[in-house]
Amino acid sequence: MTESVRKLLPILAIGALALVAPYVLPDYRIQLALLWIMILFALTWDIMGGQMGYNSFGNILFFGLGMYVCAVVQRDAGLSYYPGLFAGLAAAAVLPVVVAAVLGSGLLGLRGHYFAIGTLGLGIAAGEIASGWDYIGAGSGMVTPLYPGEIGARQTFFYFASFVLATVTFLALRRIYSGRFGLAVNAIRDDEDKAEAMGLHTTRYKTVAWSVSAFFLGMAGGLVGNLNGFIDPRDVAFAGATYGVFMVLMAILGGKGTLWGPVIGATIFHITQEVFWTYLLGWQRVALGLLIVVIVVFFPQGILGWAKARYPERFGIRVEAAAEDADGR
Amino acid sequence: MSHIKSLATAVATAATIGLLASGSASAKVEGDKIILGAAVSITGKYSTNGKNTKDGYDLAVKRINEKGGVTVAGKAYQLDIIYYDDESTPARGAQLAERLINQDGVKFVLGPYSSGLTKAIAPVTEKYGVPMVEGNGADRGLFEQGYKYIFAVLSTSDQYLTEALNLAAEQATAAGKDPKSLKVAIAIENDNFSQDVRAGVVDDIKRHGMQLLIDDKLPPELNDMAATLTKVRAVNPDILIVSAHAKGPALAIRQMKDMQVNVPMLAMTHCDSAKIIENFGKDSEYSVCASQWDRALSYKDNVMGSAEDYAKDFEKEFGYAPPYQAAESTAAVLVFADAFARAGDFDPAKVRDALAATDMQTFYGNVKFDATGKNTAKPMVLYQVQGGEFKVVAPSKWASAKVIYPAPGWSER
Amino acid sequence: MNSLELLFQAPILSVQLLIDGILIGSIFALAAYGMALVWGVMNMINVAQGEFVMLGGYVALYAAQAGLHPFLGIPAAAAVLFILGWLLYRVVIFRVVDKDLFISLLATFGLSILIQQLANEVFGADVRTLYSGLGTIVLLGGQVTVSEIKLVGFAATLILGACLLLFLKKSRLGQAIRATAQNARAARILGIDTDRVYATTFALNAAICGAAGALVVMTWIVHPYLGLAYTVRSFMIVVVAGLGNLGAVVAAGLGLGAAENFAGFLLGAEYQAAFVFSLLVVILVYRNYRLGRHRKYLK
């Protein structure tokens, strides 16, 4: 077996698993679809938080926006199901990007925790505004059109849609990280002032990074709105206190600033959540709080971070004996 | 890099195993037991009423089983319920419905607490042709979708405060005033159910020709009503309507007393959830409350006995007096039991038809469904707190006291 | 009738809204003291702040049930929460104090969920309240009412603020706290046990929140999900007021309370929360613009 084929094998294995999963585990299609969405959440968050060092608590804004935009287009455009869905998703990709570009000019100047809290406020404000606006159903939310097809077809369709979207996101991110963009964004994370001084137009890169997140998140929102069948402004669309924070946690759990870290983190987090929900009836939220504390306190470098520190050679990092910290840390 | 991929593969495999572990194998529905599925709010903001709902279901199952279960086609069956926690969020509720039906093989579903959750579950049960009998989703939007598999034993949300407005109009006429001169203020929470109550109230206001002066949507994390009450005091309405689940009556009474806001009639929903008499004592006097049921009503059936019998039984079993949420949940199970017996079969479609033909009296009220699944045989009840107790003041057929209107101002109490 | 018209027709309403707003804001300011303290000294944003307030409310509730006079619930809540804060520091917080602020943010977020859900399990989701036995002052012929318990809250805020200030300025521990806030390393070198300082600060924060919670349950209601509103508002107040200035915290708190109340009146209660959060975003952006880095090009 050649080297390149051997490298590809794990990817192919995952791909094969992903393709057969809905048929092997038909009862879990919604959870599986959500798994892909979670992976997407973690990946898109990581662009900002991990690669660029701008911890955003408001990415959920784009998700919710995409969800509503898609639903409104589906409701008002007068198209039949698939064209309507397609148009909706297209709009769901575009509008959040516009919003990101516009808001970015104001918010991306904020540093560190101010940016984090500012975006958190944004996410929650969006939820509040959405629940007051009658055009999109106010507090009662909206319902997405019924999927044409037999029982169960909807879940399968949206499972694959989520899988495709998540994969595309992953590949797109891999491409941009390996180029100039990735270097620039990392430079911003490492020392923004120096990067700026070296002539890097940081604002532009920050806005692009946020827009990329917005692009994929918006489409994810459109998909989830249709997967669930209904939209609730606070619990589903702008779920700041749940998904909004989970995306951060998943990326951290897996190891932020890496490509596979968010994927691993999202998978583990999502599975753990589902297991809690099934087996800890009534106490699952308590367990979740505990889990979050544990992750953040004991695993801030994430699983990949921990693995890299433990087995640096396996990751192609050379450790020189003299380079070890005197403290042994 | 390849090691990351191997790690990822390992995780993926673990994931699959994890997912498999996180669900139970498909449960057998028959045997000796009829298995019903229910999503209730065990955690989250509806957990109090979720518990009421679960207790209601549990009591029904217990009593029915004690009395020999349900006889279907000559054989006796026991009832059992599988519960999941929907965390008071519609997203979970919808997932739950799928899980109950697909993984656990449930063919008959009992409704969740709250309209939002019922709305999330209804499309699922409808799609799979699984009959759902619910007692806690009063949203009339549920019955405008053409669903055939949903049946609600409770009065729908738009009827909640109709009696209050009727009563106010009656009182006005009796005092020689034109009902059209009555001014109404509304403060209603911005969620599914409450907004449907509002829709009903607005319709009733139009019907009577009254004036709507304030129409506030309260935020769900409501902590303070001062702004709204300032408006109310400025505008001096004859009727103030507050509907915000359990927080509504609590805040309304508390702050109206604090701010000395006087209104001739304060009409609210969820007074019993807020335990206003316990919590507020004298300050809760004269409040008018909508309720689906009262233990003083004279309904009865042969499983629970009379309404009062049920209330005593519930108190003994769970240690607290049953709010209407519990009563309507119990009634939902009774309706299912009755339908199984009449259908003589467990085919969901046949059970569905039997449900549609229901015409029975339960301790909770009469149950007869119209074509959309609404219960059209049971009117809402209106209480007023008088002398530290809830007294039924409307509809007149069951009234045990006359309404005191207008309520005296705070300084006169 | 348009709310704005109403305001102009009856200017006395503004007085009521202002008074109510200020009184409500004072309790937010109380929660903000602690937030400012923890942020300034430990460089941590405590997302569980609101949960401490909520717990304080429950302590006061149970203390009253046990026979204590409702007012004694305030110090009781402060004491219990002080202990809880100390314990939390020793078990969890000390591990995140010297890490990234962002890590501590997430850790306290996890704590807040934990506490919230535990409270839901233990206390039930019921809405509860406590009667303080106080009445209402009626002014201007019934046009303006001031709830006496809210006045007590206002007084408590001022008194506690003064006490805190005195403590920080005059006592040894207070000075140690300020020193640590200025430069933790230097403080350590000079012999200050910064770990103890941190523990005390965190516990103090919890205690202040506990007292606020006792006031909240006597003024309004308490339930397990009360917390977020207080966390968010105390954060906003601190952002606006800056970290060093207790007086500014009070002013910002009162201002926020008043602004929110007016917004609720004018825009309708459904937009009150949206207003608050949007205001947060606006303030942050504006502040950043003022402090801003401006891109300049050398020609």
Picking from A30, A53, A55, the residue whose alpha carbon sits closest to that of residue A245 is A55
Query: Is residue B78 domain-shared with residue B141, that is, in the same domain?
Result: yes
- Domain total in chain C: 1
C-beta separation of A131 from C270 below 8 A: yes
Q: Each residue of A51-85: b (16+ CB within 10 Å) or e?
A: bbbbbbbbbbbbbbbbbbbbbbbbbeeeeeeeebb
Report DSSP state, residue B244: B
Are residues B99 and B167 both part of a single domain? Answer: no
Q: Is residue B226 predicted with pLDDT exceeding 80?
A: yes
Same domain, B140 and B168: no
Domain shared by B135 and B223, yes or no: no
Contact A138 B195 (CB under 8 A): yes
Query: Which residue segment(s) compose the domain that C164 sits in?
Result: 3-291
Of C27, C75, C39, nearest in space to C230 by CA: C27
Q: List chain C residues with CB under 8 Å of B235.
A: 1, 6
A173: CB partners within 8 A, 6+ apart: A43, A47, A212, A259
Please determine, for residue B20, whether its predicted confidence score (pLDDT) is greater than 60.
Answer: no
Q: Is pLDDT of B29 > 60?
A: no
Contact A221, A66 (CB under 8 A): yes
Which of C93, C285, C286 has the highest number of chain A CBs within 10 A, making it the mutation to test binding with A? Answer: C285
The band of C297, judged by pLDDT with boundaries at 50, 70 and 90, is: low
Number of folded domains that form chain B: 2
Specify if C199 maps to a domain.
Answer: yes
Question: What is the arithmetic mean of pLDDT over B225-250?
Answer: 88
Categorise residue B285: left if φ over 0, alpha if ψ from -120 to 50, beta otherwise: beta
Neighbours of B147 (CB within 10 A): 16
CB A220 within 8 A of CB A264: no
| Window A:192-231, CB contacts with C under 8 Å | 203
How much is the average pLDDT of C227-255?
86
Contact B150, B378 (CB under 8 A): no
Q: Is-contact A216 A44, C-beta < 8 A?
A: yes
How far is the C-alpha of B195 from the C-alpha of B372, rounded, in Å? 21
Q: What residues in C contact A125, CB-CB < 8 Å?
A: 274, 277-278, 280-281
Contact (CB<8Å) C264/B250: no
Q: What is the pLDDT of residue B212?
A: 92
The amino acid at residue C94 is F
pLDDT-derived band of residue B28, with 50, 70 and 90 as boundaries?
very low
Could B90 and A232 be called an inter-chain contact, meaning their C-beta atoms sit closer than 8 Å?
yes
Let me know whether B176 and B148 are in one domain: no
**Structural domain span for residue B358:** 33-155+296-368
**DSSP state string for B274-307:** TTHHHHHGGGGTT-EEEES--TTS--EETTTEEH
Put simply, the chain B residues between 169 and 228 with a CB less than 8 A from any chain A CB are 189-192, 194-196, 217, 219-220
CATH number at residue C198: 1.10.3470
**Are B231 and B340 part of one and the same domain?**
no
CA-based end-to-end distance of chain B? 78
Burial class (CB in 10 A: 0-12, 13-18, 19+), C158: middle
Written as one letter, the residue type at B249 is P
Which 92-121 residues of chain C touch chain B by CB within 8 A? 117, 120-121
For residue A320, give how far its alpha carbon lies from the nearest alpha carbon of chain B (Å): 20
Non-local (6+) Cβ contacts of A329 within 8 A are: none
Task: Find the residue in B nearest to A269 (Cα).
Answer: B15
On whether residue C298 sits in a domain, the answer given is no
Distance of CA C284 to the CA centre of its chain: 19
Of B8, B141, B217, the CB nearest to A10: B8
Q: Is residue C109 part of a domain?
A: yes
Instruction: Report the C-alpha gap between B188 and B268 in whole angstroms.
Output: 10
Q: What pLDDT score was predicted for residue A35?
A: 92
Q: Which chains touch C (3 or more CB pairs under 8 A)?
A: A, B
pLDDT of residue B14: 59
pLDDT (tens digit per residue) in C148-206: 888 888 999 999 999 998 998 899 888 898 888 888 888 889 888 889 999 999 999 99
Each residue of B324-371: pLDDT tens digit? 889 999 999 999 999 988 988 888 899 999 999 999 999 988 899 988
User: Could you tell me if residue B11 is inside a domain?
Assistant: no
Looking at CA atoms only, how far is residue C122 from chain B in angstroms? 11
pLDDT of B93 over the 60 cut: yes
At residue B58, the pLDDT reads 93
How many Cβ contacts (< 8 angstroms) between chains B and C? 108
| CA triple C125-C129-C132, angle to 5 deg | 160
Q: Looking at residues C93-97, what average pLDDT do you find?
A: 88
Instruction: Taking residues B63-68, report their average pLDDT.
Output: 90
- Give domain status of residue C296, yes or no: no
Looking at the DSSP assignment, which residues form a beta bridge with residue B360?
B367
Tell me the CA distances in angstroms from A14 to A29, A42, A175, B10, one per residue in order: 17, 18, 20, 9
Candidate from A282, A285, A293 with C-beta closest to C107: A293
Lowest mean pLDDT segment, chosen from A141-150, C78-87, C96-105, C159-168: A141-150
Q: B38 pairs with which residues across the strands?
A: B83, B110
- Judged by a CB distance cut-off of 8 A, whether residue A19 touches chain B is no
Residues B172 and B37 in one domain: no
- Would an 8 Å CB–CB cutoff place B2 in contact with chain C? no
Are B226 and C6 in contact (CB < 8 Å)? no
Residue B380 is predicted with a pLDDT of 85
DSSP state of A179: S
Nearest-CB residue to C13 (from B228, B230, B275): B230
* Distance separating alpha carbons of residues B130 and B122, to the nearest angstrom: 10
Whether B400 and B256 map to the same domain: the answer is: yes
Out of C114, C268, C278, name the one closest to residue A289 (CB): C114
Give domain status of residue C251, yes or no: yes
Question: pLDDT band for position C208 (50/70/90)?
Answer: very high
User: Which chain A residues are within 8 Å of B91, Cβ to Cβ?
Assistant: 228, 232, 235-236
β-strand B265-268 against B288-291: which pairing, if any? parallel
d(CA B277, CA B279): 6
**Would you call B11 and A307 a contact, using CB atoms and an 8 Å cutoff?**
no
Q: Is C233 on the interface with B (CB under 8 A)?
A: no
Q: How high is the pLDDT of residue B23?
A: 40
Residue B25 in this model has a pLDDT that exceeds 60: no
The verdict on a CB contact (< 8 Å) between C270 and B190 is yes
Tens digit of each residue's pLDDT (9 = 90 or more) over C258-282? 988 888 888 877 777 788 778 878 8
Q: How far are the Cα atoms of B31, B130, B336 from residue B28, in angstroms, in the given order?
A: 7, 16, 19
Closest CA to B38 of B18, B19, B61: B61
Q: Is the pLDDT of residue C62 over 70?
A: yes
B91 touches chain A (CB under 8 A): yes
Q: pLDDT under 50 in chain A at which residues?
A: 322-329
In this predicted model, which residue has the larger pLDDT, C145 or A88?
A88
